């Protein structure tokens, strides 16, 4: 891969890694959101029901996000296109499923209270921007393979 693709993957790995531990929506961190809620959906009308109580880290949403960040970092360090694709797709899938599930359960609440709910979402912004940059870098690496040295 080209060096700017590796740099882009490295920066996206940092963005996804930091975004994993920052508030995603309404002051709730990804470490507080149960991973099973992505599959089953969220219950309740208020965003406070989004967070689980005393949730171990391996059962939280932070696990696949941290795995995506590690895969992107490994892709940047070892110049691996498949690992970059795996990290980008994993991160994008988790972010999209989270956004769809939150919209299904709390869409009306977010529209009514958008001035307070959407003020502290730095983690979500970093997750989305990191996965978009990783997807773009993965597309560039497939479109333009690295030049072969001449003998």
Beta bridge partners of 25: 28
Q: Identify the band that residue 64 occupies on the pLDDT scale cut at 50, 70 and 90.
A: very high
Q: Please give the mean pLDDT across all residues of the chain.
A: 87
The Cα 23–Cα 77 span in angstroms is: 28
Vertex 16 angle, CA 113 and 60, to 5°:
70
pTM listed for this prediction: 0.87
Please report the pLDDT score of residue 96 as a whole number.
Answer: 93
Q: Is 44 helix (H, G, I), strand (E, B) or coil?
A: coil
Q: What is the pLDDT of residues 25-52, one digit of tens each?
A: 878 888 999 888 888 888 777 777 788 7
Task: Report how far Cα 13 is from the mean position of its chain's Cα atoms.
Answer: 10
pLDDT at residue number 1: 53
pLDDT category of residue 145 using cuts at 50, 70 and 90? low
3-state DSSP helix/strand/coil percent for the chain, to nearest 5?
70, 5, 25
**pLDDT category, 147, cuts 50, 70, 90?**
low
- Asked whether the predicted pLDDT for residue 127 surpasses 70, the reply is yes
């Amino acid at each position: 891969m080209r060096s700017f693709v590796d740099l882009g993957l490295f920066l996206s790995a940092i963005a996804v890694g930091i975004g994993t531990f920052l508030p995603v929506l309404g002051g709730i961190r990804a470490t507080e959101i149960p991973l099973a809620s992505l599959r089953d959906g969220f219950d309740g009308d208020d965003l406070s029901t989004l967070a689980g109580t005393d949730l171990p880290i391996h059962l939280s949403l932070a696990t696949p996000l941290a795995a995506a960040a590690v895969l992107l970092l490994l892709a940047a360090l070892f110049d691996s296109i498949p690992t970059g694709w795996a990290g980008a797709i994993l991160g994008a899938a988790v972010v999209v499923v989270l956004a769809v599930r939150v919209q299904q359960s709390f869409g009306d609440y977010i529209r009514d209270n958008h001035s307070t709910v959407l003020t502290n979402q730095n983690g979500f912004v970093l997750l989305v921007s990191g996965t978009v940059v990783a997807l773009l870098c993965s597309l560039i690496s497939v479109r333009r393979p690295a030049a072969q040295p001449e003998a």
